[in-house]
Amino acid sequence: MKIGLIGTPQVGKTTVFQLLTSLAVQPGSRENIGIARVPDVRIDSLQEMYQPRKTTYATIEVVDIAGLGSGQTGKGREFLDAVRDVDAMVHVVRAFHSEQVATEDGMVRPMRELDHVQAELLLADWELLETRLERLQKQRMKGAGGAEELAVLTKFREALEQEMPLRSVELSDSEEQAVRGYGFLTRKPVIVLVNVDDAHVGGGYPQEEELKLWGRQRTVPIVAASAQVEVEISQLEAEDAAMFMEELGLAESGIARLAQAVYEHLGLISYFTVGEDEVRAWTIRTGSSARQAAGKIHSDIERGFIRAEVSAYSALMEHGSLQALKERGLWRLEGKDYTVSDGDVISFRFNV
């Protein structure tokens, strides 16, 4: 799973990248790639319970894509290629004020940035759609099928004509299949990260209502955070960080909220494996079967799957140990088709 940070230049993308990945970035580098840990308080608690030798959080790969400036030519292609390569986007827009960081005309206009970059993506999809439709029509004149594909592309055209992203078009599984390979950019999930002043982490930033409306109309989550505040928090000792966050009225760091929003919005969930050796979160898609989940650990466990022993994280926390769960009949056996829930604690039985 790979997410791309996109946006216009000088909005905080690289700052967010560094926060997510804890990596230092070479000044002037155009593209950065790293791994972000997905914070999870459940893993923290399991670690306390088991005191394992190793603790492994869920991760997401992050790409810091070079900014798309207004009126830039030639860089558009590079930008679009980079977006084509990711599974989802975090679109960073600037709502912070700063004398040090110039904006084009001295105005802070996150909505304008959002429109500019999203319009570029819509345009790229429009071009792709036109090419595909032309080719398909020729093919159909020769009597070579493609009826379902044509139906989907026609729906896509209607959406683009209304400047709506293709992810707003609902498709059946087989329709989805018919157009999967094309890599339409506005079909990829997106989250908007509004980089705000420290006074606005709880709201009240420029164009807030417009941004929220835009998000509601497209079912795009809008997350507000201050990259600058996050940098300051990350440089403090835990105790001071907690105090500082309380002063700002932050229950959780913005980076944690962002990582979680990405995870949820992509339809990802975690199950856990526990023990003295390792406490670990495993990432799967919502709706995965026990057998598919086993395959995340090792293909041998998927192939030789016998049973999954399962309990909910909340039950484990309530009763204090797997032994206590067993005694109460809460450590249950499930078959290969069991649909794994977010927060399941699992142990697999398998044959090799």
98 vs 323, beta carbon nearer ligand GDP = 98
Task: Region of 83 please: left (phi>0), alpha (psi -120 to 50) or beta.
Answer: alpha
∠ Cα 227 247 202 (to 5°): 55
Near ligand GDP in 145-204, by CB under 6 A: 195
All residues at 6 or more sequence positions from 202 whose CB lies less than 8 Å from its CB, including other chains: 224, 249
Q: Does 98 bind ligand GDP (CB under 6 A)?
A: yes
The correct pick among 186, 226, 283, 311 for binding ligand GDP (CB under 6 A) is 226
Q: Residue 283 in contact with residue 324, Cβ under 8 Å?
A: no
Closest alpha carbon to 266 in 128, 140, 87 = 87
Q: Does 18 bind Mg ion (CB under 5 A)?
A: no
Q: Does 321 bind ligand GDP (CB under 6 A)?
A: no
Residue 272 to residues 176, 250, 322: CA-CA distances in angstroms? 31, 28, 13
Helix (H, G, I), strand (E, B) or coil at 145: coil
All residues at 6 or more sequence positions from 201 whose CB lies less than 8 Å from its CB, including other chains: 224, 225, 226, 229, 248, 249, 250, 254
Q: Does 311 bind Mg ion (CB under 5 A)?
A: no
| Window 46-85: contact mask with ligand GDP (x via CB under 6 A) | ---------------------x------------------
13 vs 187, beta carbon nearer ligand GDP = 13
The correct pick among 4, 7, 14, 63 for binding Mg ion (CB under 5 A) is 14
With CB under 5 to 8 Å by kind, the binding choice for 9 among Mg ion, ligand GDP, none is ligand GDP
Least distance CB 31 / Mg ion (angstroms): 9
Q: Does 186 bind Mg ion (CB under 5 A)?
A: no
Q: Residue 73 in contact with residue 67, Cβ under 8 Å?
A: no
Q: Does 21 bind ligand GDP (CB under 6 A)?
A: no
Q: Which stretch binds Mg ion (CB under 5 A): 12-20, 85-93, 113-121, 199-207?
A: 12-20
Q: Does 15 bind ligand GDP (CB under 6 A)?
A: yes
Residues that bind Mg ion (CB under 5 A): 13-14
